[in-house]
């Protein structure tokens, strides 16, 4: 008999039940898809990094001779400021001596277990009419060794390229491609542990459709005419402290930059990405599960408390507590388990897809989906057990009093002290406001759940709106503002013809300890406008001091007139900020090129970038066209946007459901009071004002307080990304978003309360007053 009653109870609230079930399915789904795909990738990657001996850090070295180099006790005499490439041309032996001496000096510092140079050459890969950028590697012996995923190791005349690149460009094994005018046969697909993102010279460009890593035999590598580049890769013992390590390395004057793998976008981003993905998945699913299950609990408790009297009668008749409660608990357990299990199964089915989505960006081995029982437990059983226990506690407590007491009206047994306080507080206010306040206080437990639920839901709305803006801000904004057609990444100035073009020096620096990119430009350059906040131009001020980007100002709080310490290339100098430029998302600072050049080479014509106003096809450095960048950006944006819209849509839907259900439940729980006021003769409008007005005010307060919190957390997120990877991730909220969120929130809350009131209307007024509950 009770069984049928429970089924009917659920059936009567079918809309809520369906929405709740949806919430739980999504919760199980998100948890499972993230847990399974991330574990699969992680396990596979860890094994892969282990066998290929992934670097723990990399060190970029100066491209010219430094004071420290000169001090080496070796047979060669080095001229400070001379470019290493010039040195190599003039005296190949001494060049090698210098490289060895640097490696030896770092080795002697005893911070690492092993060091090895990582050598590569940047150029182009051609096939048909297509030309893409490529970074060709000379395979290492110990650190960052290659893994051939498919096919065979490249012999002479053969090349191994990235699988993803091949797939996205319809290339297959045995196809021919050209490197440096020479035909190579694709022998296999290669993975390199230090390039799980194909990031070469530009941070934001890592779409595997447009660039690839490549591996050729040692002889073929040496024969490539392209400029050779090298960084140092190192392995440390696990006990090494990161800060000590960085300090030790940076003490050498010939060290340009030190990057820990976990802070390195090209090799370590995957760690943060996987952890982040897992954490986000866990957070979202727990949040949804908690909200969903709390709502289930409230619904059941509400139903039961409405039936207090009936239960009392049953109890008087001799029905035991278990007989009354257990059917409800079984109902809840079944409902929660079935919903979560459906989510779990969907998650398992979608996990390979999720892995592939990761592998659309990351060059990592694909693993076989690794299913473990623990997922089933975490996704399905744990939440079910928790909700059943909580509801059981609540329900048993509810039916514990003797039968007579259950039949009697449930009234306040004593005046809670908080009501006394509130009354004092609200003394100057109107009676109805006192009532509003005291009712909220009386049900503070429910109100708390309501506040938390609405708050989380609103945060999801803001997060989804913030993410929506993400890529527009970064990429297109960035590339849309330059006026150059091509940029030459010129590592050896003497090999690039700088005539008629704008020179620039781009280096990584620390400004007051904050990582940022210094772009040194000439005041008379034509390609980099530096508009200030009033649309004036700041280029002329480059020789007067430092100009910083608005994003950097927002991140650091620095402003015009501040004097800051800038650390780069072993030098530290102090300069005054003279302007804020409104363009360039990210941590950028701008300074006079000649000054930087003098600092680095003791001459005035050093540069490592050339910006051309007309499209440039050949140069001594790697050329990237603006058009290509935009193309790439759009392609990546496409994928990202799909993902983001999925997340936006998903969390948006979740938020809507949560707000709707909470509103529905809350208003419905006011059923008694609403009926009473109605019988007394209060109009619907007055009733809404008195009984729901408190929630309305609460909603406004939650909404308003969620805005600064969202903004603050976005700031933290942005700063963390910048701090870790130097990657600008402008999660931002526009005025528009606030309006949109407000409209959505208001609308959903309104429809929810309307639905509830409609339900209330259908029940007879006088019946309501029979409910033994006040």
Partner 1 sequence: MISVAIELKKVRKTYGTEAVQTVALDDVDLTIDNGKFVVVLGPSGSGKSTLLNVMSGLDHLDEGKITIDDYAIDSMSDKALTQFRREHLGFIFQQYNLLQTLTVKENVEIGARLVEDALDSEKVLDDVGLSDHLNKYPFQLSGGEQQRVSIARALVKRPKILFCDEPTGAVDEETAKSVLEILQNLNKKYETTIVLITHNASIAKLAHSIVKMNSGKIVGVETNKPQEARKISWND
Ligand X SMILES: Nc1ncnc2c1ncn2[C@@H]1O[C@H](COP(=O)(O)OP(=O)(O)O)[C@@H](O)[C@H]1O
Residues that bind ligand X in the complex, under the rule CB under 6 A:
764, 767
Q: Which is nearer to partner 1, 414 or 534 (CB)?
A: 414
Q: Which stretch binds partner 1 (CB under 8 A): 41-49, 93-101, 405-413, 549-557?
A: 405-413
- Rule CB under 8 A: say whether 765 interacts with partner 1: yes
Minimum CB distance to ligand X, residue 405 (Å): 24
Give Cβ neighbours of residue 332 (< 8 Å, ≥ 6 apart): 296, 297, 300, 387, 388, 391
Asked whether position 735 contacts partner 1 by CB under 8 A, the answer is: no
d(CA 466, CA 483): 28
**CB under 5 to 8 A by kind: which of partner 1, ligand X, none does 29 bind?**
none
Q: Are 254 and 106 in contact (CB under 8 A)?
A: no
Q: Closer to partner 1 at the Cβ: 694 or 730? A: 694
d(CA 312, CA 433): 35
Query: What is the nearest approach in angstroms of ligand X to the Cβ of residue 303?
Result: 18
290's tokens? 């908690």
- Position of tokens 């619904």? 299
Among 181, 445, 513, 681, binds partner 1 (CB under 8 A): 681
**438 touches which of partner 1, ligand X, none (CB within 5 to 8 A by kind)?**
partner 1
Under rule CB under 8 A, how many of the chain's residues touch partner 1? 31
**CA angle, residues 147, 150, 151, in degrees to nearest 5:** 105
Pick from 12, 251, 615, 770 the residue near partner 1 by CB under 8 A. 770
Distances in Å between the Cα of 97 and the Cα atoms of 61, 70, 108, 233, 569 are: 15, 12, 16, 19, 22
Minimum distance from CB of 424 to partner 1 (Å)? 13
**If you write DSSP's letter for every residue of 456-493 in order, what string do you get?**
HHHHHHHHHHHHHTHHIIIIIHHHHS---SEEEE-SSG
Nearer to ligand X, 627 or 767 (CB): 767
Distances in whole angstroms, Cα of residue 560 to Cα of each of 532, 557, 572: 12, 10, 20
CB of 655 or CB of 771, closer to ligand X:
771
> Nearest approach, Cβ of 766 to ligand X (angstroms)?
9
Q: Check residue 225 for interaction with partner 1 (CB under 8 A).
A: no
Out of 272, 447, 560, 676, name the contact with partner 1 by CB under 8 A: 676
What is the token pair recorded at 207? 């779409």
| CB closer to ligand X out of 142 and 763 | 763
Q: Which is nearer to ligand X, 131 or 763 (CB)?
A: 763
763 contacts partner 1 (rule: CB under 8 A): no
Rounded Cα distance, 506 and 487, in Å: 12
The reply on whether position 156 binds partner 1 by CB under 8 A is no
Residue 771 CB, nearest approach to ligand X (Å): 13
Region 406-445 residues binding partner 1, contact defined as CB under 8 A: 409, 411-415, 419, 431-432, 434-435, 438-439, 441-442
**Smallest gap, in angstroms, from Cβ of residue 411 to partner 1?**
5
Residue of 670, 678, 732, 757 interacting with partner 1 (CB under 8 A): 678
Helix axes 735-762, 671-680, angle to 10 degrees: 70
Selection from partner 1, ligand X, none that 75 binds (CB < 5 to 8 A by kind) is none
Q: CA-CA distance, 675 to 762, in Å (whole number)?
A: 11
By beta-carbon proximity to ligand X, the closer residue of 615 and 763 is: 763
Q: Which does 680 bind (CB under 5 to 8 A by kind): ligand X, partner 1, none?
A: partner 1
The 115-144 site mask, x for binding partner 1 (CB under 8 A), equals: ------------------------------
Print the SS3 string covering 548-579: EEHHHHHHHCCCCCCEEEEEECCEEEEEEEEE
Complex with partner 1: residue 409 or 649, whichever CB lies closer: 409
Q: Which is nearer to ligand X, 12 or 420 (CB)?
A: 12
The nearest distance, CB 755 to partner 1, in angstroms, is 18
Taking the least distance from each CB to partner 1, the nearer of 11 and 412 is 412
Question: Out of partner 1, ligand X, none, which partner does residue 535 contact, by CB within 5 to 8 A per kind?
Answer: none
C-beta closer to partner 1: residue 401 or 746: 401
Q: Which two tokens stand for residue 714?
A: 């976005």
Name the minimum Å distance from CB 764 to ligand X: 6
The sign one gets for the Cα dihedral 444, 447, 448, 451 is negative
The answer to the question of residue 316 lying near partner 1 (CB under 8 A) is: no
**Residue list 442-461, contact with partner 1 (CB under 8 A):** 442
Radius of gyration of the chain (CA): 33
- Which residues 6+ apart lie within 8 Å of 564 measured at CB? 511, 512, 546, 558, 574, 575, 576, 577
Tokens of 145: 């060794």
Nearer of residues 64 and 772 to partner 1, judged by Cβ:
772
Least gap, CB of 754 to partner 1 (angstroms)? 15
Of residues 394, 523, 408, the one with CA closest to residue 449: 394
Q: Between 51 and 764, whose beta carbon lies closer to ligand X?
A: 764
Burial track 254-288 (b if 16+ CB lie within 10 A, e otherwise):
bbbbbbbbbbbbbbbbbbbbbeebbeebbebbbbb
Decide: is 670 part of the binding site for partner 1 (CB under 8 A): no
> Which one of ligand X, partner 1, none is in contact with 354 (Cβ closer than 5 to 8 A by kind)?
none
Q: Does 774 bind partner 1 (CB under 8 A)?
A: yes
Cβ proximity of 728 and 474 under 8 Å: yes
* CB closer to partner 1, 18 vs 774: 774
For the chain, the straight-line distance linking the first and the last C-alpha, in angstroms and rounded, comes to 28
Quote the least distance from Cβ 769 to partner 1, whole Å.
5
Q: Which of 684, 701, 704, 720 binds partner 1 (CB under 8 A)?
A: 684
Cβ proximity of 361 and 270 under 8 Å: no
Q: What is the C-alpha to C-alpha distance for residues 591 and 352, in angstroms, rounded to an integer?
A: 48
CA 24 – CA 379 distance, rounded (Å): 10
Q: Residue 212 in 3-state DSSP?
A: strand
In Å, how far are 139, 152, 158, 475 from 174, measured between CA atoms?
21, 11, 9, 36
> Interface residues with partner 1 (CB under 8 A)?
409, 411-415, 419, 431-432, 434-435, 438-439, 441-442, 673, 676, 678-684, 764-766, 769-770, 772, 774
């Amino acid at each position: 008999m009770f069984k049928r009653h429970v089924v009917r109870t659920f059936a009567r609230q079918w809309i809520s039940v369906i929405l709740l079930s949806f919430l739980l399915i999504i919760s199980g789904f998100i948890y499972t898809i993230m847990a399974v795909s991330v574990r699969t990738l992680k396990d596979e990657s860890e094994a892969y990094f282990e066998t290929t001996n992934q670097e723990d850090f990399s060190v970029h070295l100066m491209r010219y001779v430094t004071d420290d180099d000169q001090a080496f006790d070796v047979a060669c005499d080095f001229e400070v400021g001379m470019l290493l490439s010039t040195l190599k041309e003039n005296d190949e032996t001494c060049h090698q001596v210098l490289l060895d001496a640097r490696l030896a000096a770092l080795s002697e510092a005893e911070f690492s277990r092993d060091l090895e140079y990582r050598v590569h050459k940047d150029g182009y890969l051609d096939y048909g009419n297509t030309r893409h950028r490529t970074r060709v590697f000379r395979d290492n012996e110990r650190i960052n060794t290659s893994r051939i995923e498919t096919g065979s190791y490249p012999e002479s005349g053969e090349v191994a390229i990235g699988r993803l690149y091949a797939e996205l460009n319809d290339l297959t094994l045995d196809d021919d491609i050209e490197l440096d005018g020479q035909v190579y046969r694709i022998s296999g697909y290669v993975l390199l542990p230090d390039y799980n993102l194909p990031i070469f010279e530009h941070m934001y460009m890592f779409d595997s459709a447009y660039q690839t890593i490549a591996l050729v035999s040692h002889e073929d590598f040496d024969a490539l005419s392209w400029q050779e580049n090298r960084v140092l890769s190192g392995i440390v013992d696990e006990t090494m402290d990161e800060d000590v390590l960085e300090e030790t390395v940076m003490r050498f004057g010939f060290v340009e930059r030190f990057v820990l793998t976990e802070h390195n976008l090209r090799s370590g981003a995957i760690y943060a990405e996987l952890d982040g993905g897992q954490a986000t998945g866990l957070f979202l699913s727990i949040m949804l599960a908690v909200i969903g299950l709390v709502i289930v609990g409230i619904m059941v408790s509400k139903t039961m408390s409405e039936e207090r009297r009936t239960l009392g009668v049953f109890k008087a008749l001799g029905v035991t507590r278990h007989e009354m409660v257990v059917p409800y608990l079984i109902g809840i357990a079944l409902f929660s388990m079935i919903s979560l299990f459906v989510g779990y199964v969907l998650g398992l089915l979608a996990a390979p897809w999720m892995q592939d989505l990761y592998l659309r960006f990351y060059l990592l081995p694909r693993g076989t989906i690794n299913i473990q029982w623990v997922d089933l437990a975490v996704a399905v059983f744990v939440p079910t057990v928790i909700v059943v226990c909580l509801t059981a506690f609540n329900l048993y407590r509810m039916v514990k009093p003797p039968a007579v007491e259950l039949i009697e009206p449930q009234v306040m047994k004593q005046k809670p002290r908080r009501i006394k306080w509130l009354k004092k507080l609200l003394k100057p206010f109107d009676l109805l406001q006192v009532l509003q306040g005291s009712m909220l206080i009386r049900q503070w437990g429910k109100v708390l759940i309501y506040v938390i639920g609405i708050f989380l839901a609103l945060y999801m709305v803001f997060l989804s709106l913030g993410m929506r803006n993400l890529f527009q801000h970064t990429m297109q904004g960035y590339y849309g503002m330059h006026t150059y057609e091509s940029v030459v990444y010129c590592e050896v100035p003497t090999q690039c013809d700088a005539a008629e073009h704008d020179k620039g020096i781009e280096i990584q620096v620390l400004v007051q300890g904050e990582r940022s990119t210094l772009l040194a430009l000439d005041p008379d350059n034509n390609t980099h406008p530096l508009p200030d906040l009033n649309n004036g131009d700041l280029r002329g001020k480059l020789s007067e001091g430092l100009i910083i980007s608005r994003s950097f100002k927002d991140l650091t709080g620095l402003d015009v007139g501040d004097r800051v310490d800038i650390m780069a290339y072993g030098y530290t100098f102090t300069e005054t900020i003279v302007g804020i430029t409104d363009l360039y998302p990210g941590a950028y600072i701008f300074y006079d090129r000649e000054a930087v050049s003098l600092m680095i080479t003791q001459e005035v014509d050093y540069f490592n970038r050339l910006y051309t106003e007309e499209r440039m096809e050949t140069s001594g450095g790697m050329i990237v066209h603006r058009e290509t960048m935009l193309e790439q950006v759009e392609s990546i944006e496409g994928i990202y946007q799909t993902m983001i819209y999925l997340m936006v849509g998903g969390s948006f839907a979740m938020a809507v459901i949560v707000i709707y259900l909470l509103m529905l439940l809350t208003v419905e729980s006011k059923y008694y009071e609403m009926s009473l006021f109605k019988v007394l003769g209060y109009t619907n409008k007055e009733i809404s004002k008195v009984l729901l007005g408190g929630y309305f005010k609460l909603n406004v307060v939650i909404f308003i307080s969620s805005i600064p919190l969202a903004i603050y957390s976005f700031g933290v997120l942005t700063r963390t990304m910048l701090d870790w990877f130097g990657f600008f991730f402008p999660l931002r909220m526009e005025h528009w978003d606030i309006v949109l969120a407000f409209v959505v929130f208001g609308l959903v809350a309104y429809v929810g309360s309307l639905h509830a009131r409609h339900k209330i209307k259908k029940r007879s007024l006088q019946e309501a007053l029979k409910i033994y509950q006040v």
